[in-house]
Structure 1
Amino acid sequence: MAERQPETSPQEENTPLLDQYIDCAKKFIDLAKDLGHIKGANKLQRMCKSELKYLQSLRTSPADVSGNHLKSSNLSHYTGCLHAAYNAPQVTQILSPFSLEGRTENLVVDVVANQGYTWIKVIARKAQALHLVWAGRGQFGERDLVKQARDYIHCADHHPVHFQKPKVHFAFYNQVTHPMAVCLERLGISVSGERVPVDDATTNQISLACVSSDEDSEASDSDSEDYRGNRTDLGQDGFSPSSGGRFAADKTSLKSCSDLNCDISTSFITQSKSDCVFSEMNLLHTLIFSLPSFVCLSDKASGYSEVGIERVNLDITTLITLVSSVTHDGCHFEFSEKILALQAAEERQEPVLPKLKKFLQGKVMYVCRTALEDFRSILDTLGGLKEKERAEKLLSQVTIVDDDPSDRTMEMPYSLRIKERSKIIFGTGDKLRAVTVTANSSFVRAAQHQGVSYAVYLHPSRALTEEKEKSAVPFSPTD
């Protein structure tokens, strides 16, 4: 009689996979750390560390490690966030919150690319499951991607970058059905990821749901009227009652894939050097089906630049910076005032004017009367002779306009960082649809917290220093 082999427990079966998850989480922490120069990367790193802690707790847990424990991991989503951050062009932010009118919570954009002009949403859920939710077969409270897409579009409308609405891009890491991709593109969203047909199992679930709904609708005339009304509402969202709630133009829209916004399908073959980092992790094949390409965003990136900016609104801080002695070779002094000494040291390390003048070149410069009057007052009190001469030359090149702040600016409540003068200056630039050039980053952040995002060009702050040079000591670099 053959010797009976000992049974393998579920925990023993899942332990090797758990070890792979833990190893993957550790690598993700290192990848996020390497993105430290991007705003929000530290947040992603903390989330990966939290995930690692959770996975490590499963290893020591007395309870069996089930497949459901691993399925609840967020590693799939973090995979997408990291991959997009490494491969999308000109990434400036990761996991960036944006206020959305009508919602108490902020909308979090996974990756902000193209210097702010593109918002990328990472989708790691499997295509067929997403399709079922879209068809109304999801769990109670689940919102389908089309509704989420409208939130993104609406939010982007309220957060323009240099008065251009950011483009929204959905990156699918576990495939997307053809009908859903087409529907999203009709809303104006670009889509990348492997496109697949709706499988038989999903089609059957939708069909059974429709049959059940039809039977229920025959129970009473009033219920029937409500049902037809709901179907009409679905049709307005791009659904077809005759196809069980699916997109009406599926057949015609799929006959030619050349019209689609982005790549039709992307296998696990790497698209860039950065992809190699991800494809080398064997676990990723269980987390995601494919790595989307962001080539379409790179092609569009050239259309988003400072070239399209024609008007600029100069803040008081910028006027001072443009005429200050410290920005005109007056940085080689040791000032007794700590703030002036710091600005001089920064100026010796990295001068402000070259970048600032390059940005202003060829643009129409505006100054509102409040900014002008306060600038002149500061100049008369603190300015030196040469600083005053530079100021007169500068002001002869700008257009003076009356104070005329935008409505959304004046509706902002006052606070410690949101004051009348700043509201007038930034609001006038907003009304002019001009980019406000400023060193007042605290007002910009405070306004963002109030849900108002301004088109700004930020630069380091500089003070008037010519008169202070009289009591300063020439700077002597140490070996």
Structure 2
Amino acid sequence: MECNMYMCDTEYEKIIELGNLLLKLLDSIPSSIKGSNKLKSKIQQEIFCLEKAKQANRLKKEHISSSNLHHYEAFVNCVIKDPNCVSILELFHLDSDLVGKKKIYVDIVTEQRTKWIKVVARNPKALSQIFKGEGDYQQKSIIDHAEEYLECAKQNAVLFKPPVVEFYFASGIEIDLAEELSSIGIFISGNILGVDCENEQKALELLKIEPYQLNRDVNRLNLDVPTMIAYVSALTNGHADRKVRGKVLSQQAESERKFPVKPILDDVFKGKELYACETAVSNFKSIVDILGGEGEKKRTEELLSRITVVNDVPYTKLKIKGYPSGCIYS
């Protein structure tokens, strides 16, 4: 659709001004927030495309009305209002039975990584129509995106719990769709449309995230071999004053006299469930059997009685010197 020259110029100037303002706002956010350059690049690309269309006299009203700068405006505002933002457009990986491996870019990671936010600036009626199957053929609905986010969150847990997933609707969302999203585990922020006296309380509940849902108090500890050895060692159990041979042992004894390890570990272990994998326990027992004294062997038995031994689960995605970590190296 061609637009009136004066109106088109005015709208063009406004949208370019908006883009430049967003870039300035991103320059003002803390440098500790990762990913801001990604968002800057996307904004710069939008400005470039509009400028190019203008210079070639091909600028249409649709170029301005459908510009992603409107979405990025909501995005930047959301980042600025969140004092706990950690990263922007962070890449996570989803391993799905339906689509295989897929990259998921989370708009905003916040609250010490325990919360993910997706910014949605689309027209609320269009969102509802697509959800009802009235969109283009095979067009993904907001529910489809939500399910991917939730599954990805499960696969990228923070201290044993998946991050809370919140969808922020900058232009609002109709209450029926908001309820559908809430029913699968999505938290809603933004204006909920179509609310009357009967469902006002329900709408308020949709907008509420309880503090406990972001809480990550850890009550499980996974112990490694050095930690278990430090806990049962004679050196850390009242014998740091004895003379020992070797420079390394002398340094460890001196460190133990200044900063006793056992009280620290006792404090860390207090009220916690202790776990260790089969290989760690096997290696620990072998070391104590070969090098340990009677006292150390007794303390080893006491410690192992408190530990739940779990199966080894090699993390095959991690590569060491080009080889998967689950491999056996010769």
Using the size of structure 1 for normalisation, the TM-score is 0.49
Counterparts in 2 of 1:21 and 1:371: CA distance versus 1, 3 Å: same
Q: 2:311 aligns with which of 404, 426, 430?
A: 404
Gaps of 5+ in 1: 1-7, 198-250, 265-295, 324-352, 379-390, 423-479
Once residues 317 and 48 of structure 1 are traced to their aligned partners in structure 2, the CA distance between those partners, rounded to angstroms, is 49
Q: 1:260 aligns with which of 203, 207, 212?
A: 203
Counterparts in 2 of 1:303 and 1:168: CA distance versus 1, 3 Å: closer
Task: Kindly indicate whether residue 321 of structure 2 is the aligned counterpart of residue 416 of structure 1.
Answer: yes
Secondary structure, aligned partner of 1:140: coil
Aligned partner of 1:186 in structure 2 is 183
Structure richer in strand, relative to its length:
2
1:53 CA drift (Å): 2.2
Aligned partner of 2:64 in structure 1 is 70
Aligned partner of 2:255 in structure 1 is none
Contact 2:221 2:275 in 1 (8 A): yes
Secondary structure, aligned partner of 1:174: strand
Gaps of 5+ in 2: 234-260, 288-295
Counterparts in 2 of 1:110 and 1:312: CA distance versus 1, 3 Å: same
1:91 CA drift (Å): 2.4
Q: What value does the CA root-mean-square deviation take over the aligned residues?
A: 4.1
Aligned partner of 1:155 in structure 2 is 152
Contact 1:114 1:301 in 2 (8 A): no
Counterparts in 2 of 1:416 and 1:316: CA distance versus 1, 3 Å: farther
Aligned partner of 1:280 in structure 2 is none
1:189 CA drift (Å): 1.7
Paired letter, 1:98: F
**Whose RCO is larger (CA < 8 A, sep 6+)?**
1
1:75 CA drift (Å): 1.2
1:183 CA drift (Å): 1.8
Paired letter, 2:38: K
Q: Deviations over 1:268-321 (max 9, x none)?
A: xxxxxxxxxxxxxxxxxxxxxxxxxxxx34xx34543342x1122245688999
Aligned partner of 1:38 in structure 2 is 33
Paired letter, 2:68: N
Once residues 317 and 79 of structure 1 are traced to their aligned partners in structure 2, the CA distance between those partners, rounded to angstroms, is 50
Once residues 304 and 49 of structure 1 are traced to their aligned partners in structure 2, the CA distance between those partners, rounded to angstroms, is 34
What pairs up with 1:179-218 in 2 under 5 angstroms?
Answer: 179-197=176-194
Using the size of structure 2 for normalisation, the TM-score is 0.68
Q: 2:214 aligns with which of 282, 304, 311?
A: 304
1:138 CA drift (Å): 1.0
Contact 1:44 1:94 in 2 (8 A): yes
Paired letter, 1:10: N
What pairs up with 1:105-254 in 2 under 5 angstroms?
Answer: 105-197=102-194
Contact 2:124 2:171 in 1 (8 A): yes
Aligned partner of 1:227 in structure 2 is none
1:371 CA drift (Å): 4.8
Counterparts in 2 of 1:48 and 1:375: CA distance versus 1, 3 Å: farther
1:64 CA drift (Å): 4.0
Once residues 261 and 361 of structure 1 are traced to their aligned partners in structure 2, the CA distance between those partners, rounded to angstroms, is 40
Secondary structure, aligned partner of 2:102: coil
Once residues 230 and 124 of structure 2 are traced to their aligned partners in structure 1, the CA distance between those partners, rounded to angstroms, is 53
The percentage of aligned residue pairs carrying the same residue is 24
Once residues 145 and 32 of structure 2 are traced to their aligned partners in structure 1, the CA distance between those partners, rounded to angstroms, is 29
Paired letter, 1:131: S
Secondary structure, aligned partner of 2:321: coil
Contact 1:41 1:94 in 2 (8 A): yes
Task: Kindly indicate whether residue 8 of structure 2 is the aligned counterpart of residue 14 of structure 1.
Answer: yes
Contact 1:96 1:109 in 2 (8 A): yes
Q: Deviations over 1:207-235 (max 9, x none)?
A: xxxxxxxxxxxxxxxxxxxxxxxxxxxxx
Contact 1:36 1:42 in 2 (8 A): no
Paired letter, 2:36: A
Aligned residues: 280
